[in-house]
Structure 1
Amino acid sequence: MLVVSDEVREALAGRRPVVALESTIIAHGLPRPHNLRVAEELEEAVRQEGAVPATIAVLDGRPHIGLGEEQLERVAGEDGFRKLGHRDLPPAVAAKASGATTVSATALLASLAGIRVFATGGLGGVHREWTQTQDESADLGLLARTRITVVCSGVKSILDVPATLQRLETLGVTVAGYGTDRFPGFYLTDSGHPVDWTLTTPEEVAEVMRAQNALRLPESALIVAHPVPPEEQLDPGLHARVLAEALDACAAQGVTGQAVTPFLLDHLVRHTDGAALRANVAAVRGNVRLAARIATAWTRR
């Protein structure tokens, strides 16, 4: 069922480093034609660190692990591409649909293909006003039962960050800051909340991954929270002001449920003159490079 590219298959067979990359940021997260340039840049960044990129998407009902140039162009430029979480994979396959994979779908498909390291921007999490909506990203439950290392810049800052950290603890998902004892806030270097563990080198991350295997613990993920550099983050004051305005607009327009997150993210991008978008890309760029170094350290066993 999985279509694994020759490059990725050979790398896995030869125990060479591979990094999984999601495709939602390409199809839905960035404007055209900027999205294709960023997608190519991210893959090249992985290669420069000595690893093989494996961008993941579903094309005509077939999950692809690693995309060729024409396939990447298709994800970036084709209209009607769905956004697929892991729950959407069976109907998408049955209907021979095409779609970009979210964090949960990418993590699952990467794990099934034998890839251990995955780089993304920010995770989903517990939404604001959870007590009324019970709205929580599918990312959390999937990561609680999938053995993969996810390099990210925390969770999206529009979410309830402390509730998300508490939920991850309840689910038994290990969270470690990379070079920091603070949990990053996606666009922001520091969300204002601490982490219990700090790792400082790719080798230390790989040792934790090996310990997960040696202890035979439940198949949960390791989240490596890697902050965007302070000089590339969204100005915290601007972020706070625009987010407050976005929440007010959301309430005034009656936006609820799954529509809240894309509404808030779009508002942030449009009302920060693109600064939020630039911080997003900076975060992902740093994450894919770190993920490649971790994948390299992991293969040295």
Structure 2
Amino acid sequence: MLQFFDYSPEVKFAMEQKKPILALESTIISHGMPYPENYETAQVVEQIVREQNVTPATIAVLDGKIKIGLTAQELQLFSCNNELYKASRRDLSFIIANEYSAGTTVAATLFCAAKAGIKLFATGGIGGVHRGDAQDISADLIEIARTPIATICAGAKAILDLPRTLEFLETMSVPIIGYRTQVLPAFYSDSTPYQLPTSVNDIPSLVKILKTHWCIDAVTGVLIANPIPAEFNIPSNEIEPIIINALHQAERNNITGKALTPFLLAEVSKLTEGKSLHANIGLIKNNALLGAQVAHAYFYS
């Protein structure tokens, strides 16, 4: 297995020195934002993590190697590559065997981070149960349920069926902890009508729950819901009609499967005249900051 993994010098040094590491996914870069915003955001996000004395480990697949951390040059080349696959966990063997390159979804990133021994992961928003009756359920939820890693996110993406996503996570026994919120945030929006089972207002309380969860030998991951900052918030009643419009566009164009989420994000960005893209950038920076703070506190407590 080790022959398929490649650690950046920065991540390798952090592991040798036993320093805290925060995993970051790469489909935000490859499929979530256009160039150059994706590259600029990735650079800033990694720097935010470093400023908390934590090492960022952006995970991706390059030429058939699972990269745990990207060098500056790799990050730049990855950001402007228009021929990247979008890899969930099921796709990794095909992509590695053929020496392709890919952005890793939440599911694939969690799988790779767990193999690397990383316990904390920050992303924008997770996948979930899609709207409608197609039974389209993101592999993100399955991987969160079976991988003992804490995922910091701004809730599930607003394009999803949020109540059914919450129900699925409850069925899979995944703890969901609101950070300074008692309701589920929905990516672009800081609140929804959906109550969370648990909330905390400070990082020590959060870390205590994480350590206890794994101390009692619970095998699931933990989802930490961190609302989008107020200055980037798009209220639900404003974004919902736009999402419905984008969903209709996807249906008319017969867009399904792994192509659906990138299409919807791009369509929503177009319909909001870029407002949703700025919100996306704002929330991933915010999640990276909280993720780094939690990683630091978890490691040193």
TM-score computed with the length of structure 2 as normaliser? 0.95
Evaluate the alpha carbon distance shift between residue 83 and residue 176 of structure 1 in structure 2; reply closer, same or farther with a 3 A threshold: same
Correspondence for 1:144: 145
Correspondence for 2:196: 195
Unmatched 5+ stretches in structure 1:
none
Correspondence for 1:78: 81
Contact residue 157 and residue 185 of structure 1 kept, 8 A: yes
1:228-267 Cα offsets, whole Å, 9 max, x none, are: 0222112433312212322333344444444443332222
**Counterpart residue type for residue 217 of structure 2:** R
Identity %, equivalent residues: 38
User: 2:45 aligned with 1:45, yes or no?
Assistant: no
State the secondary structure of the residue aligned to 1:185.
coil
Matches within 5 A, 1:280-299: 280-299=280-299
Q: Matches of 2:220 and 2:208 in 1, distance apart?
A: 16
Evaluate the alpha carbon distance shift between residue 116 and residue 214 of structure 1 in structure 2; reply closer, same or farther with a 3 A threshold: same
Correspondence for 2:16: 13
Aligned length: 298
Residue 79 of structure 1 deviates from its aligned partner by 2.6
Q: Matches of 1:98 and 1:257 in 2, distance apart?
A: 20
Q: Matches of 1:252 and 1:97 in 2, distance apart?
A: 31
Correspondence for 2:221: 221
1:57-88 Cα offsets, whole Å, 9 max, x none, are: 11110101011011101110123111111111
Evaluate the alpha carbon distance shift between residue 34 and residue 256 of structure 1 in structure 2; reply closer, same or farther with a 3 A threshold: closer
Contact residue 23 and residue 75 of structure 1 kept, 8 A: no
Evaluate the alpha carbon distance shift between residue 89 and residue 260 of structure 1 in structure 2; reply closer, same or farther with a 3 A threshold: closer
Contact residue 32 and residue 265 of structure 2 kept, 8 A: no
Evaluate the alpha carbon distance shift between residue 192 and residue 39 of structure 1 in structure 2; reply closer, same or farther with a 3 A threshold: same
State the secondary structure of the residue aligned to 1:118.
strand
Q: Matches of 2:261 and 2:69 in 1, distance apart?
A: 28
Contact residue 174 and residue 221 of structure 1 kept, 8 A: yes
Q: Matches of 2:211 and 2:260 in 1, distance apart?
A: 38
User: 2:61 aligned with 1:58, yes or no?
Assistant: yes
Evaluate the alpha carbon distance shift between residue 245 and residue 75 of structure 1 in structure 2; reply closer, same or farther with a 3 A threshold: same
Residue 134 of structure 1 deviates from its aligned partner by 1.4
Contact residue 192 and residue 236 of structure 2 kept, 8 A: no
Q: Matches of 1:206 and 1:10 in 2, distance apart?
A: 24
Correspondence for 2:159: 158
Correspondence for 1:125: 128
TM-score computed with the length of structure 1 as normaliser? 0.95
CA RMSD of aligned residues (A): 1.4
Residue 93 of structure 1 deviates from its aligned partner by 1.1
